[in-house]
Amino acid sequence: MGNTVDRGMGFGMNYAHHQCVAGIEIMLPDGDIVRTGQWGISSSPNAFLSKFTFGPSLEGLFFQSNLGIVTKMSLWLTPQPQAYMCCSFSMPLFTDLEVMVDVFGEMKRNGTVQSCVWFTSLIETLCIMGRREDYWAGEGPVPDWRLEELRLETGFGHWYARWGLYGPKRIVEAQFEEIKSVLSRRAPRGTISGNLYSNQEEDGRLEATTVPDQDGQMFVGIPSLWSLPLINWPISKNKKDGKAAHGDYAPVIPSSGKLLMEWMEVSKPICEANGVELMADFFMHERHVVLMNMFTWDQTDPAQKAKIERLYYGLYGEAKKRGYGMYRGHVNHMGKFLILVRDSKQLTRTDLIANLNDFNNHAYNRFVEKIKVSPLADISGGQR
């Protein structure tokens, strides 16, 4: 539920969790309890079946918000399918991202691929497998020439797209054949794989736990911490008191190969100038992507902390130039709460995300900040 109200994402068919909500229960600051949608009608048989009711929809007021506390939620689940196929597609070059985005974006929009398509990079794969010192003995981030050596040594692609196909076995197989056909024409340099798992009974249902971890886990609804080791990337194994940390800058970008490639080319030197590699992954929706510029550092190293702060500001500046809003972020970079504490009228880092809503002299911010459901309500820009 916490992931959903923060507009978090997952994998599979219903990966955009906040778009699968059919009614929420909220406690307001004055203690009143409200239920939204058809759930606002006592004993309604449609309480969890319809996403809307007559009148204004209130759910959005409580996503990424402190206007109330969400205490209950109805969330649509994905029906258990007969078959599931774990699919991946990789391409070898940094610049191959452009064609990958355009081809998969088109397949998302025309319904050929209906689930989440998750794009990851070579450096992110290496981060999960080891630490920087395992691959590079020099100073600073791993250079491009060494990354290319590692790509050839491992046989990995520079970019990966991963997604799942779900449904009746014959339909899943037909979908995969169509995807293979499209990719062979539009991106012939790439490599595709698909591993099929199914219940052999005509009306049977596949048990998620029967899918091997390397092909299943979060793609079949099983929580996983498999990517957690990446936070240790910058920590030397000889440094016993190092403390790993990670963060990201998460812009929302149109699903355009040209624009995604432009962002990578702009953000890469900013990352490298501040001591980290371009560690990027993103989740493809029908018409936009949510991109994560990931970065990891040693919290015990003041110099690294200062570089990460400069990195964040650098990415923010480039995103603002292009009109790219934020998916979500750290409380230190949103709202005006800390400005009030500091009794300062100057723009500080805590204004960064809200400040992007600049239409009509920040009319959106004025509207949100003036909403009060009780005289006791404290409308600050941060999250609680």
Q: Give the tens place of pLDDT for each residue, 289-305.
A: 999 999 999 999 999 99
- What's the mean pLDDT in 325-351? 58
Quick one: CA dihedral 292, 293, 297, 303, positive or negative? negative
pLDDT at 337: 43
Q: Does this model's pTM top 0.85?
A: yes
pLDDT at 362: 86
Q: Give the tens place of pLDDT for each residue, 3-27.
A: 888 888 888 888 888 889 999 999 9
- What's the mean pLDDT in 171-197? 97
**In this predicted model, which residue has the larger pLDDT, 331 or 296?**
296
Ordered domains of the chain (ranges, CATH)? 2-75 (3.30.465.10), 79-329 (3.40.462.10), 334-384 (no CATH)
Alpha carbon 322 to its chain's center = 20
Question: SS3 for the chain, per residue?
Answer: CHHHHCCCECCCCCCEHHHHEEEEEEECCCCCEEECHHHHCCCCCCCCCCCCCCCCCCHHHHCCCCCCEEEEEEECCCCCCCEEEEEEEEECCHHHHHHHHHHHHHHHHCCCCCCCEEEEEHHHHHHHHCCHHHHCCCCCCCCHHHHHHHHHHHCCCCEEEEEEEEECHHHHHHHHHHHHHHHHHHCCCCEEEEEEEECCCCCCCCCHHHCCCCCCHHHHCCCCCCCHHHHHCCCCCCCCCCCEEEEEECEEEECCHHHHHHHHHHHHHHHHHCCCCCEEEEEECCCEEEEEEEEEEECCCHHHHHHHHHHHHHHHHHHHHHCCCECCCCHHHCCCHHHHHHCCCCCCHHHCCHHHCCHHHHHHHHHHHHCCCCCCCCCCCCCC
pLDDT at 97: 98
Q: Is 76 exposed, middle or buried (0-12, 13-18, 19+ CB in 10 A)?
A: middle
pLDDT at residue 383 tops 60: no
pLDDT at 371: 77
